[in-house]
Structure 1
Amino acid sequence: MNFRDLVSGVAWNGLLHLGQRRRYARATWLFHQGESPDFVIALVNGIVKITQVAEGGAEVPLALRGKGEVLGEIGALLDKPRSASVKAVSECIGIVLPAHAFRGYVDRHGLNPVIYRLAIQRMHDNEQLRTALTRLPPQARVARVIRYLAVEIGERADGGVITLQLGMSRDELAAMASMSRSSAMAVLRALHDAHVLELGRGRLVIRDSLALAELCED
Structure 2
Amino acid sequence: MIAAMTPEQRQELEALGVRVQFPARHVIFMEGQPSRSVLILQEGNVAVMQEAEDGSEVLLAVRGPGELMGDEGALTGEPRSATVKAVSSVVGLDVKAEDLVQLVDKYHLWPQMYRSAILRRRESDDERASLTRLDVTHRFARMLLGLVMEAGKEVNGRWEIDVALSQQDLASRVGASREAVALVLRNLRKQGLVATGRQEITVLDLDGLRILASTSQ
Relative to the length of structure 2, the TM-score reads 0.92
Preserved CA contact (<8 Å) 1:163 1:206: yes
Number of aligned residue pairs: give it. Answer: 215
Extract unaligned runs of 5+ from structure 1. Answer: none
Q: Deviations over 1:125-183 (max 9, x none)?
A: 22222222212222211101111222222223453x32212322201211211212111
Q: Aligned letter for 1:44? A: Q
Residue 4 (structure 1) shift:
4.3
Q: Aligned to 1:43, what secondary structure does the other structure show?
A: strand
Distance (Å, rounded) in 2 between the aligned partners of 1:4 and 1:98: 15
Counterpart of 2:191 (choices 191, 194, 210) is: 194
RMSD: 1.6
User: Cα distance 1:156–1:115, how it changes in 2: closer, same or farther (>3 A)?
Assistant: farther
Distance (Å, rounded) in 2 between the aligned partners of 1:198 and 1:216: 17
Larger displacement relative to structure 2 (21-30 or 201-210): 201-210
1:82 aligns with 2:70: no
Distance (Å, rounded) in 2 between the aligned partners of 1:119 and 1:155: 27
| Alignment partner, residue 151 of structure 1 | 149
1:100-111 to 2 correspondences below 5 Å: 100-111=98-109
Distance (Å, rounded) in 2 between the aligned partners of 1:17 and 1:197: 41
Distance (Å, rounded) in 2 between the aligned partners of 1:204 and 1:46: 17
Distance (Å, rounded) in 2 between the aligned partners of 1:182 and 1:95: 38
1:49-88 to 2 correspondences below 5 Å: 49-88=47-86
Larger displacement relative to structure 2 (150-159 or 41-50): 150-159
User: How much identity, in percent, do the aligned residues show?
Assistant: 33
1:149-188 to 2 correspondences below 5 Å: 149-159=147-157, 161-188=158-185
| Alignment partner, residue 42 of structure 2 | 44
Larger displacement relative to structure 2 (62-71 or 112-121): 112-121
Preserved CA contact (<8 Å) 1:196 1:211: yes
1:127 aligns with 2:125: yes
Residue 56 (structure 1) shift:
2.1
Distance (Å, rounded) in 1 between the aligned partners of 2:154 and 2:11: 25
Distance (Å, rounded) in 1 between the aligned partners of 2:136 and 2:36: 41
Preserved CA contact (<8 Å) 2:167 2:199: no
Residue 53 (structure 1) shift:
1.3
1:136-147 to 2 correspondences below 5 Å: 136-147=134-145
Larger displacement relative to structure 2 (34-43 or 193-202): 193-202
Distance (Å, rounded) in 1 between the aligned partners of 2:207 and 2:42: 30
Distance (Å, rounded) in 1 between the aligned partners of 2:148 and 2:185: 15
| Alignment partner, residue 24 of structure 1 | 22
Q: Aligned letter for 1:89? A: V
Residue 52 (structure 1) shift:
1.1
1:95 aligns with 2:93: yes
Extract unaligned runs of 5+ from structure 2. Answer: none
Preserved CA contact (<8 Å) 2:57 2:172: no
